[in-house]
Amino acid sequence: MDIIAHPLYLAPVAQYVRLYAADRLLVDADSQFVKQTYRNRAVIAAENGALALTLPVAHSGVQAMRDVRISDHGNWRRMHWNAIMSAYKKSPFFDYYADDFRPFYEKRIDFLLDFNMQLHATVCELLGLERETVEYSAADAVGAEDIRSLAQPSRGEALCSVPYYQVFEQRNGFLPNMSIVDLLFNMGPEGLIVLRDCAGKY
């Protein structure tokens, strides 16, 4: 089975639950960029609860996702990496994976699509969830499951019904459908088992 998805910034767990059950990912790079979605926003489980990390982008009017550039406005790279470190430095697997993610917050990548897809490839490699990834086309999409709605915040929580360890769970309760890095830093390779169990309930 193929799935059609938007290229998201450190996508929520729900998108990877559907990817676990898929054979191939069709990435919709030509759809219109929409603000206040996971296209340029990731949500992590921080000490005081869910924390949104938003990538500043430079775009105007109607623009395809592939054409959106990341803005250098503010010191977002340092802010995002510091927030991730603060949230996960005590997690069981942060030290194992930190060096895989740190370079993304040290180098410049101009386009949001490239940034998101390079992060996605890193996540899949670390999870052992490698699936063929191609750009979406109408011809390829026949019979594919469309999960593009998961780009909207508050969508997909039902796909994340298997709780797993979170650093601040005793303080905040279990927070479902956080960014995939939450699952990766907290569960390591066993994150794949969580995805499998969630997919099995869907």
**What pLDDT, in 10s, does the model give residues 85-124?**
999 999 999 999 999 999 999 999 999 999 999 999 999 9
Q: In terms of C-beta density within 10 A (0-12 exposed, 13-18 middle, 19 or more buried), how is residue 12 classed?
A: buried
pTM, two decimal places:
0.94
Cα–Cα distance measured from residue 84 to residue 81, given in angstroms and rounded to the nearest whole number: 5
* Tokens at 102, concatenated: 């740190």
Boundaries of every domain in the chain = 2-201
Per-residue pLDDT band at 158 (split at 50, 70, 90): confident
Placement of tokens 């709605």 in the chain: 149
Orientation of helix 112-127 relative to helix 180-187, angle to 10°: 30
φ and ψ at 195, to 5 degrees?
-60, -40
The fraction of the chain above a pLDDT of 70, given in percent, is 99
Placement of tokens 């803005």 in the chain: 71
| Per-residue confidence (pLDDT) for residue 202, from 0 to 100 | 62
